[in-house]
A and B are shown apart, each in its own frame.
Chain A
Amino acid sequence: MKKMTIFLAFLLFVSFQAAAQMQITGRVTSVINGEPIPGVSVVVQGQETIGTATDFEGKYSLTVPQSAENLIFTSVGMKQTIVPINGRSTIDLAMEEEILEMDEVIVVAYGTSKKESFTGSATMIDNKSIESRNVSSATKALEGVVPGVQTTSGGGQPGSDLNIRIRGFGSINASNEPLYVVDGVPFDGNINSINPNDIESMSVLKDASASALYGARGANGVVIITTKKGSEGEPEINFKATFGSSSRAVPEYETVDERTYMELFFESYKNSLIVDNGLTQGDAIDVALNGDATTQSFMEVLGGEVYNPFNVSSESLIDPNTGKVVNNATLKYHDDWFEEATRSDNLRQEYQLSIVGGNERSNYLLSLGYLDDKGLIANSLFDRYSARLNLNSEVKEWMKVGMNTNYALTKQNYLTDSGTSYNNIWYSTLSVAPIYPVYQRNEDGSFVFDSEGNKIYDWGETRPYANNFNTIATLYDDKRSYNADNLSSRFFVDLDTDKDLAVLKDLKFTINFGFDYRGSDRLIYNNPFHGDGSSVHGRGYKYNYRTLSYTFNQLLNYNKSIGDHTFDLLAGHEYYDYKYNYFYGAKQNYLFEGLTELAGAATTTGANSYENTYKVESYLSRFNYDFADRYYLSLSWRTDGSSRFHKDYRWGQFWSAGASWRISEESFMDSFDWLTNATIKASYGSQGNDNILNDDGSSNYYVWQSFYSSEYPNANYGGVWLESLENKTVEWEKNKNFNIGLETIFFNRINLSAEYFQKTTSDLLLFRPLATSSGFNGYWDNIGEMVNKGMDFDLSARIFEGDFNWTLGGQLSFVRNEVTKLVTEGQELVSGSFIIKIGEPINSFYLPTSAGVDPITGEQLYLVKERDEEGNIVDERITNSYDEAAANKEVHGSRIPDFYGSISNNFSYKGFDLSILLTYSVGGLVYENVYTSLFSTRNAGDNFHVDVTRRWQEPGDVTDVPRLVHGQVNYATNDALVDASYLSIKNITFGYNLPKNIVEKAKLKSCRIFVSGDNLALFTKLKGMDPQYNFSGSQNYNYVPLKTISAGIDVKF
């Protein structure tokens, strides 16, 4: 092509030599790094036959007629630039990158689409915004960059993925997770096995028009991940290294110090002697301090004098008159449990090497990556070794083939990070009272050393909290590892029929085959000496999981343009097959220290295995029509047969219709110069969801059948137990999705889009209740209905362009959720502190209503509303009976925010660039069960929050914290709900491209150095709270999200 242009230019030069002419020379470079750009087409405006192209140095020379006014510079990936000649003979140009280029073609279901012709709702993010985030899992790069997508924080466990929800909640009992598609094929591997640096783009499909072609599995939206490919040209080698270090992104809850703890516990225990044992105040103080024949003193309850951290003995530690620790008491020692759990070498390092190259017919990409992410806590780590090879070749003129293979080995040492087990350091370091030492102490508070001079852990033989357990020691002595081999491959054959054959002209046939294999093993080892395993002299669990899934599809594509009409027809067949194998073995009674595998243990305590299979067969079709690049119509249809359902109810039909109108292309809009583009689009359609879950969140593949579980052996006799009732009619959950949107570009620099959506999920799988007394609470049936509606706004403005560039981005979304149908009008699905009820959002909080603390007695009071049969409140009164309050729980809002979104700023100046990403969420509530647990007086040795110091102490005190009574239960009320609003500085990246001359001296193509910070700050109502822990709005003792500061270098040569 280039040769042709030059040849034409030469011809023109010859034929016009009689006319007045001038010669123009110049050099075209990149505005970003000053590198020359070869192959830029330079033509004369109005006389496009006169032109040339730049050489490898970016230089050109062109003879133009005197009449020529402007030169047009065009190059792939660059913004077309028109430069007035103004009589100059030298015209150099620093070309800008085409910012819209990436947006123009987006990856959609089974292909790509021009953005302006796309009738659905989809957002595509490119590799730049992924690479700027130093994340170990690609899902974490989605946060804050896609309107309508909500994410959890994902926690700080190295290698952890986060969960995402696209436009609200799609289901109650089935999965709410989107479908992940990698390189055109649904993906069943671990997302964290994909090296984020290998990703070219991620598309998030949000409405029916975009995702109906994924029918059965598209109801919760689709995330399409496309990996990088090779390209024609001289091989390019890219090396990138990043180093970082982490700390907590969410601060610790504020808990009391030793002095306050002793005072609070003493008071709590003393009060229990009054309330439960009927002692007088005076006697209670005396007995609490000194104990008597049948009652322990407060210090005995806390484990005895050995745990008194003060230099004053416990009998005289508390002043009986004030209840305070006496003034002359000083601390003998102080241990910080969390600090002891933290590792000092929490380095994150990542190395990337990629090589890209190719010729006219074939290209390749080879990429290697190594990640070592150590996390914050001792012995947690995530290592990934990844390799990708992508080959594409045009083997015949009518045949293209390609393959893309990724192998990743991931190794993870992980921690328990939910729940209240003592081996969860996030629980134990927070909830242990500050008086307990990590290491054994002598009476004077100094460390006790063993014969080798090492500190000795305090195992807490008399400690009421975590008896015979030391959570710090467990970090070192126990083991939890997870290793996975991930192998994913995609193959395709494209048969592009010969253009000469009239009948088959424009017809293309593609075969795709892709598989995902994951073989993984998990080991949990509890050491024989202390902690969980000590009672059985050590215990080990070994799990093996093997997942193999493949997708095989055949697609026929017909594309035809007649005049202004363009037709595009797709028809295809797809088969998906998934197999999961599980094996588990457990042994106890370990022989030696250091042998952690099962071979090292004597007694088998468990073994189990099973296999799950799941298959889907599908036929699909799409019809796209485009008239004059102005009117677009898209129809799609798919039918899926899922093995999850009975054969009479197996097949589901899914479809969508979408249309868009580029109103700015109409002639009547010609006068609106400032309006670069305006598109109105609308779509409607249906999708399905068959990903029904068991109670524990695992997939339920056999939902309609009646079974006896075979896991009920009685000693040496095999045993089975009736587990489920049959319902043959169970079928798909269906999702009707309406979307209307407006996309505009003003002044060619401000992009603004707004979309409104309404998603109605019907046939929700619910348990149709039976009387529990029948032996079953119910059986699965398609009953419920739920609506999500909301809007997404997306703004991107290039405020400054030139040497100094500034792009501002803003996103705002909101979604309203309402459950509209359950089995019966009045049905309430209550789960702990949550309720699902008609007319309320899913997972609304359902709690007794607090009426404060009785100023006379210090008891917690509750507000009880009596209702008549219609549900009208007929009486309101205050009670101190929790039983009554528990029977009159109220709905108190939900986690769903009023609105949420992000603000991003990207600056560049010469070689410098700076980007800042903020995310925010306003409204919604969090049920702060962790915070409230720090108010519990039930168990001795449990820590208190500093807010406990507000407690009621004597008649007349007006406060919201009831009196402390040891051994009592503190019931949760709506007081445990905290405003969920937050602002987070998600990412700041600062980079510098080394100047050309330096780079060239080093014989490099480019070199960039950067520093970057992730999760830099979080502003919330309550210190310690992670408002993004989950979507339902509770808290857990989890691995807190990490703040990571990194620096790196990115070299191309």
Chain B
Amino acid sequence: MNMKRLIYLIIAIFTIISCSEDTLETNPTNKASGPVVFETVENAYTALNGMYRAFYVYGEEWVDYYEAENSGVAALQLAADLMGDDMVKNEPGSAWFWYDYRYWVRSEINSTGDRPYAWWNMHYKFGNNANYLIANIDNVSGNEQEKNSIKAQAYALRAYAYFNLIRLYQRTYIGHENDPGVPVYTQPTNNQTEGKGRGTVEEVYTQINNDLDSALILFENATPQKHISHIDKYVAHGLKARVALTQQNWTDAATHAAAAREKSGLTLMSTDDLLAGFNTVANNEWMWGSEVVEEQSLSWPSFWSHMDASTGGYANSSRHCASRWLYEQISTSDIRKNWFVDPATSANESTGPDYSYNQLKFRVKQQGSWASDLLYMRMAEMYLIEAEAQCMLENYPEARDLLIDLLEYKDPNISTTLSTIPNGNTLNINTAGPVNNLLDFVILQRRIELWGEGHRVFDIQRLKTGFDRDYTGSNHSDKLTISDPESWQWIMMIPQKEFDGNVNMDPASDQNP
């Protein structure tokens, strides 16, 4: 080779291998960019389904640690019952949810693993994902009814998120209408988004109701429910009924609860289904729930591992039991008594399901699999909402009819029992009081029927009863009593991270006491 050729070669190599700028453009293979998601209605559906999936993802989406007790909505529901008086956690086990039960969580504001941050973060992420859908769906190509369905669901999901937020971070609506609320966002976030202030409770409820109303209007001209995880018209009515109940807007509560039941094919579950473990969306009473397939099940951190003591999961050494008082209120003729282990026949094993009052209501579909479904709303709740509302409206016969419909097939003696209970709508029982009137009975039935479904601590707040785990003969392992109905104890403090990034919120003036 002569030298000239060598020089050419050198120059050539330098030129050829200096690559073009495009070479340095790289993109991930497991993520989609924002614009792609809002090209077609089919793509937009994936953003909607992603939100429903977020109801039951592993907790790393919400927290930096303690992921195992932060698996989304079911975890919140379990904690909400544990923070009340009807569910007993008999021992710490691996200590998941133990802190909720013992009220050790509300002030952990610096921790990105604890409840104040987890629940704030989770619900606002829901809100923001919904905002992206609401803002972009009109410009997406595709069928109008499909788009309406997506938009309606996004509105309802946003309402659902804010309804949880306002109940977790501020005391109940009644009496606190003008107290600070939670920041409300209706536009998608970008890196210029400025944090909002707390506003008032009233404003938050107005937003929630507006969203649900918008959803209901859009559902009138929308494709029908594709999957039971999807919010449809009836679930939206159910959400509206829940909100109205909290706002003590009895007429609305009754109307929407009734409307929610009108879905064709919806019936109260059979006595067989009542004892089948509350584990499948195929149950014809379920209105809204997640269908958990094997591949998407969460194994150890799942609701089922925490709840069902027969699976070898966490519940095995940390049983979730009925409060003894509540158990004793269930009549022996009531099939629901079988939801709990009879102390008279229990061997009280150190671990596993055989332990006095241990719950058997929630059981996995099949041993050896964590793929059991999750329940967010069912028909019985609608009966109970309506019954409570009718009671408050002093429409006692209607309330009694609803109770008979709901309960008679579960307890043949219910008519007799009911006949002994006088009408009346001043609530007497907090935790363990006597049933003096019809409202007491409705609330008692609500506690029994919806045990473990995530309502109790919110009911305690809206009913302003406080609770007492230290009643005579209590089987609570923590005999805490919160008698002040206006207590802040069950209200989370706002996570420090919020104040770190929000110029419109100041810990000195905006933090919960």
Which A residues are within 8 Å of any B CB, using their own CB?
276-278, 294, 296, 300-301, 303-304, 461-464, 467-468, 495, 497-498, 501, 504, 509, 511, 532, 534-537, 552, 554, 556, 573, 575, 588-589, 603-608, 610-617, 641-643, 647, 650, 695, 701-702, 705-723, 725-727, 768-779, 827, 830-832, 883, 886-887, 889, 938-940, 967, 969
Contacts and interface: CB of A to CB of B under 8 A. Distances in A.
Given A464-B351, A511-B13, A967-B477, A710 B31 contact: yes
A711 B502 contact: no
B369 A498 contact: no
Interface string B211-252: 000000000000000110100000000000000000000000
Given A463-B350, A938-B92, A575 B19 contact: yes
A462 B107 contact: no
Contact of A770 (B189, B296, B479, B495): B189
Contacts of B194: 771
Contact of B312 (A498, A535, A776): A535
B409 interface: no
A1036 to B, nearest CB: 14
Contact of A772 (B31, B48, B61, B117): B117
B49 A535 contact: no
A916 to B, nearest CB: 43
B282 interface: no
B69 interface: no
Contact of B47 (A554, A708, A832): A708
Nearest to A769: B501
Given A495-B6, A775-B124, 10 more contacts: A504-B3, A612-B29, A708-B34, A712-B57, A715-B290, A774-B501, A831-B64, A832-B65, A889-B110, A967-B92
Interface of B: 3, 6-7, 10, 13-14, 17-19, 21, 23-34, 37, 45-54, 57, 61, 64-65, 91-95, 98-99, 104, 107-113, 117, 120-121, 124-125, 127-129, 131-132, 182-183, 185, 189-191, 193-196, 226-227, 229, 290-297, 299-300, 305, 311-313, 316-317, 324, 348-352, 367-370, 470, 473-475, 477-479, 495-498, 500-502, 504-505
A603 B30 contact: no
A787 B180 CA distance: 42
13 contacts: A535-B312, A612-B28, A710-B31, A710-B46, A711-B30, A712-B54, A714-B52, A719-B46, A719-B53, A720-B49, A771-B501, A773-B124, A938-B95
Contact of A501 (B3, B125, B349): B3
Nearest to A701: B26
Contacts, number: 303
A645 to B, nearest CB: 9
Nearest to A826: B500
A712 B53 contact: yes
Contact of B189 (A536, A552, A774): A774
Contacts of B478: 276, 967
A612 B28 CA distance: 6
A952 to B, nearest CB: 21
B195 A770 contact: yes
A642 B26 CA distance: 10
Nearest to A307: B350
Chain B: interface secondary structure?
A: loop
A708 B32 contact: yes
Contacts of B291: 715
Contacts of B495: 772
Nearest to A702: B28
Given A604-B294, A772-B498, A831-B64, A723 B31 contact: yes
Given A708-B34, A712-B50, A722-B132, A886 B312 contact: no
A462 B295 CA distance: 31
A714 B53 contact: yes
Contacts of A573: 14, 17-18
A886 B195 contact: no
Contacts of A725: 189-191
Contacts of B27: 702, 705
A504 B7 contact: yes
B297 A605 contact: yes
A712 B504 CA distance: 33
Nearest to A777: B497
Nearest to B474: A294
A967 to B, nearest CB: 6
Contacts of B352: 461
Contacts of B13: 511, 554
B47 A773 contact: no
A503 B127 CA distance: 71
B91 A773 contact: no
A706 B33 CA distance: 6
A774 B26 contact: no
A967 B502 CA distance: 38
Contacts of B104: 969
Contact of B30 (A710, A727, A779): A710
Nearest to B226: A717
Nearest to A399: B1
A772 B293 contact: no
B24 A463 contact: no
Nearest to B498: A772
Contacts of B108: 886
Contacts of A887: 107, 109-110
A647 B25 contact: yes
B127 A775 contact: yes
A708 B37 contact: yes
B348 A722 contact: no
A720 B37 contact: yes
A612 to B, nearest CB: 7
Contact of A278 (B112, B296, B479): B479
Q: Which of A707, A717, A939: most chain B Cβ within 10 A?
A: A717
Nearest to A586: B295
A296 to B, nearest CB: 7
Given A709-B30, A773-B195, A830-B110, A463 B95 contact: no
B277 to A, nearest CB: 16
Given A714-B229, A938-B92, A720 B195 contact: no
Contact of B46 (A300, A501, A509, A720): A720
Contacts of A719: 46-53
Nearest to A572: B14
Contact of A536 (B7, B49, B299): B299
B293 A771 contact: no
B28 A701 contact: yes
A497 B9 CA distance: 13
B312 A883 contact: no
Nearest to B21: A647
Given A647-B21, A725-B190, A509 B10 contact: yes
A418 to B, nearest CB: 13
A707 B28 contact: yes
Contacts of B28: 610, 612, 701-702, 707
A495 B108 CA distance: 66
A535 B300 CA distance: 9
B32 to A, nearest CB: 5
Contact of A695 (B64, B195, B295, B313): B64
A770 B61 CA distance: 17
A127 to B, nearest CB: 35
Which of A554, A573, A707, A830 lies at the interface centre, i.e. has the most chain B CB atoms within 10 A of its CB? A707
B14 A770 contact: no
Contacts of A534: 312
Most buried by B among A589, A710, A883: A710
A512 to B, nearest CB: 12
B383 to A, nearest CB: 28
B341 to A, nearest CB: 14
B501 A778 contact: yes
A775 B185 contact: yes
B229 A715 contact: yes
Contacts of B7: 504
A467 B185 contact: no
B196 A771 contact: yes
Given A536-B370, A771-B195, A939 B92 contact: yes
